[in-house]
Amino acid sequence: MIPSAPPATSDKTHSFDVFTHYERLQWKVSDLRLEDIRRDLVCPEYISLVKGVVMGEATSLPGLHGFLSEFHDDYDCSAFVAVWAYQELQHHYAFRAWLKAVDVHIDQDKIEALREPYEAGITPGATLTTNVISEIIVNTVYRAMSTWVEEPVLADLFLRASRDEAGHAREFLYYLKLRLMRHPEELTSVLERIHFYVTSPRLNHPVGVYKHQRVAEMRGYETVDDVIDVYLRISPPDAMGKLQVKLRHMLGTAVGRDLRRNSDIRHALADSVAAQAEA
């Protein structure tokens, strides 16, 4: 098992541990047994769901681009991001392969329109926070889809991707903790990101906020927001609340505070701003 908390003095080789760990777990698109798809169990709702998933997964390249720029002075984190981006590209192609196997075409122009890099975050720490949130949400959503979808090949794919996303959340959290150890001045920007996502009445996925809602070509096409809508519709009423609890717990471990209540986040923000003013 790879460590989830950075050591006091990092040896800067965490990405190699991740690389070897992922190598052991890595699956292939050819493992999916697309030839065994149960077409009688494929309903139209799955098609628009998977199209939205493909559009979400297709944003890993602009993510990689942005990360390599923002972390140009951090080889270890950049190396991890390269490994992460390969897995996300695999998700993109794997869900696309399922669509192709059921004769559904994805408009390549939409994919191309997503290529532009993300805007840089307020700070690198804020960017890592956004990615922790993104990975926790997709891990949870894909896990729910894996039990809801009746077509077994698609259900298996959602489960595989969900497990990968859990690993991504863990690693981004590791690098966020490390970033805050080295750059405590980024804490305020990190808390602002947390506040935005965990106190919103709607479940916002960062890919929707920063990409799909801003790219004109995506209008009228399936997006990650449609995936979230399906998730909320098929889940018990307390699903979003449980997801918020999970986000608050994991992000709380990064900033070293209990973030269970909104007032906890506001107090942490006020303390961080005051500490910066004193510094």
Residues forming contacts to Fe ion in the complex (CB under 5 A) are 57, 88, 91, 135, 165, 168
Could you give the CA distance from residue 32 to residue 40 in angstroms, rounded to a whole number?
18
CB of 85 to Fe ion, least distance (A): 9
- C-beta of residue 165 within 8 angstroms of C-beta of residue 141: no
CA distances, 160 to each of 37, 59, 155 (Å): 16, 19, 9
Nearest CB to Fe ion, comparing residues 46 and 95: 95
CB of 40 to Fe ion, least distance (A): 28
Nearest CB to Fe ion, comparing residues 17 and 264: 17
Length of the chain, in residues:
279
CB of 5 to Fe ion, least distance (A): 20
Nearest CB to Fe ion, comparing residues 187 and 208: 208
Question: Concatenated DSSP letters for 162-176?
Answer: HHHHHHHHHHHHHHH
CB of 145 to Fe ion, least distance (A): 12
Please give, one letter per residue, the 3-state secondary structure of 18-80. HHHHHHHHCCCHHHHCHHHCCHHHCCHHHHHHHHHHHHHHCCHHHHHHHHHHHCCCCHHHHHH
Closest CA to 253 of 1, 5, 3, 2: 5
CB of 172 to Fe ion, least distance (A): 9
CB of 48 to Fe ion, least distance (A): 18
Question: Concatenated DSSP letters for 242-260?
Answer: HHHHHHHHHHHHHHTS--S
Nearest CB to Fe ion, comparing residues 141 and 218: 141
Nearest CB to Fe ion, comparing residues 70 and 135: 135
Nearest CB to Fe ion, comparing residues 60 and 272: 60
